[in-house]
Amino acid sequence: MISMKIPNLKDAKVRTRNKSITKENEYILNDNLRVLGKGKTYFVKTYGCQMNEHDSENIKAILEDMSFTEVDDMEKADLIILNTCAIRENAHNKVFGMLGRIKHLKESRPDIITGVCGCMVQEESVVEEIMTKYKWIDIVFGTHNIHNLPNILNTSLAKNKLEVEVLSIEGDVLENIPVKRENPYKAWVNIMYGCDKFCTYCIVPYTRGKQRSREPKYILEEVEKLVKDGYKEVTLLGQNVNAYGKDLEINYTMANLLEDVAKTGIERVRFVTSHPWDFNDDMINIIAKYDNIMPYIHLPLQSGSSRILKLMGRRYTKEEYLELYNKLRSKVPNCSITTDIIVGFPGETEEDFNETLDVVEKCKYDSAFTFIFSPRIGTPACRMLDETPKEVKEQRLYKLNDLVNKYAKEANDNYENKVVKVLLEGYSSKDKDMLMGYTETMKLVNVKADSKYIGQIVDVKITDVKTWSMDGIIVD
């Protein structure tokens, strides 16, 4: 008998008034599990946002606790895990495409163990599909029970059968999960989990559970340790970081947290993602006050039409967004601001779309991620009447992208001949003779420099500007 815990969107939507609970000892590894992976290799492929990237860092650490060794070639791995994203349809399609490839691999190497986890398997339709069409998969686990991976894996191996454990719960805060950091200079730090905003198009509140803030002391301990270990940069992670602390028993906000993290002395502090709704003056003042809080803000717009924003459940109007935007620009000088925009939301007219173009004209973003609306089963927008033809939506996307690219290039042009601080992280992927890194404002810079500079923040003079990157040389 296959033992299973299957997700359902109805439970995933529930929000009670119960406080979230911090658990310090939830991840336990028995001695027999510590050697389960001895002599075996693993490969984790990550889809989706920074939170998923960071979850993969947890998954990798857990697998290494079990004595598995990482390989960077999927074809050579004994255990393959896909950490999936459910945000848009094409994310789904990519994963199912990859499952086809893995099936092929498994035909020549039947011993391969395959796992699927992350946001997609929080959806009941996906788990049903796996259980009927992809029975050869060994384990399925969700976003709430990564810590239980060793037991899920062990059970599946013992029974030689598909083991599914996905919980549709609000979730707790688990504090003792190990992490294998991908980058030795920059670290992700979760400050909150889940989301309670329920924007009408978005699946995240269903796949990640309710908003749960980590208690400040755990976050600050983590950052202090990172400083000691030589990290230069932390990115504070959450779906809606500005709402940090609202669910805590103590009176402690994102502005308080930003200030305390800045005071640890870490050289660079970043945070994603900000929802315009909770972006208050306290936060702006703290960003402006501390030099080590980076002048880079991702401020998702989604639509420039107040009518569509209302249908999206975003709780701000075009005018309110612009007011906040202008305030940020004036109070945080030289700040770079990026955004996310959806075109083709159900009922979006040409007039609505022109409002979006108008906001882009006014804000002249440093860059923007642009998407065509993708209906997600279970969300309110999925049930809204959507009569705009696909071709029209595509045309809108192209038009929007042209405008976005124009301003991205303009914003970068301002950097020509300027000297900026760049944290050099490693070799450029395109040119192995160059090093790469990011400016304080999150611009990608390729620098001709000796490898001894890797891991350092250096002054770089920008010599050439392109739309998506810049070239520069180190100045002393």
Binder of ligand SAH out of 190, 239, 305, 412 (CB under 6 A): 239
Q: What does the DSSP 8-state code read for residue 155?
A: H
**Residues belonging to the chain:** 476
Residue 327 CB neighbour total at 10 angstroms: 13
The nearest distance, CB 91 to ligand F3S, in angstroms, is 7
Applying CB under 6 A, the span of 167-175, 197-205, 253-261, 412-420 interacting with ligand SF4 comes to: 197-205
Quote the crossing angle between the two packed helices 216-228 and 254-263, to the nearest 10°: 20
Using CB under 6 A as the binding rule, whether residue 42 contacts ligand SAH is answered as no
Q: What does the DSSP 8-state code read for residue 293?
A: B
Cα–Cα distance for residue pair 227/233, rounded to 1 Å: 9
The nearest distance, CB 49 to ligand F3S, in angstroms, is 3
The nearest distance, CB 170 to ligand SAH, in angstroms, is 18
Using CB under 6 A as the binding rule, whether residue 337 contacts ligand SF4 is answered as no
Using CB under 6 A as the binding rule, whether residue 207 contacts ligand SAH is answered as no
H-helix or E-strand spanning residue 410: helix 390-413
Using CB under 6 A as the binding rule, whether residue 315 contacts ligand SF4 is answered as no
Q: Which is nearer to ligand SF4, 199 or 266 (CB)?
A: 199
Report the partner that residue 51 touches, choosing among ligand SF4, ligand F3S, ligand SAH, none (CB closer than 5 to 8 A by kind): ligand F3S
Using CB under 6 A as the binding rule, whether residue 407 contacts ligand SF4 is answered as no
What ranges make up the beta strands (E) of 85-216? 113-118, 139-141, 163-165, 173-174, 186-190, 192-193, 212-213
Using CB under 6 A as the binding rule, whether residue 54 contacts ligand SF4 is answered as no
Cα–Cα distance for residue pair 41/27, rounded to 1 Å: 22
H-helix or E-strand spanning residue 446: strand 444-448
Using CB under 6 A as the binding rule, whether residue 191 contacts ligand SF4 is answered as no
Query: Is-contact 257 236, C-beta < 8 A?
Result: yes
Q: Which 259-288 residues touch ligand SAH, going by CB under 6 A?
A: 273, 275
Q: Which is nearer to ligand F3S, 88 or 314 (CB)?
A: 88
Q: Give the dihedral sign, CA 8/23/186/245.
A: positive
Binder of ligand SF4 out of 166, 191, 195, 223 (CB under 6 A): 195
Q: What does the DSSP 8-state code read for residue 25?
A: S
List, as one string, the DSSP characters of 340-400: EEEE--TT--HHHHHHHHHHHHHH--SEEEEEE----TTSGGGGS---S-HHHHHHHHHHH
Using CB under 6 A as the binding rule, whether residue 453 contacts ligand SF4 is answered as no
Binder of ligand SF4 out of 155, 178, 184, 198 (CB under 6 A): 198
Binder of ligand SF4 out of 46, 240, 388, 428 (CB under 6 A): 240
Q: Which residues of the shown chain bind ligand F3S in the complex (CB under 6 A)? A: 48-49, 51-52, 85-87, 118-119, 203-204, 207-208
Residues that bind ligand SAH (CB under 6 A): 87-88, 201-202, 204, 239-240, 273, 275, 300, 302, 340, 342, 371, 373-374, 376
Residues that bind ligand SF4 (CB under 6 A): 195, 197-199, 202, 204-205, 239-240, 275
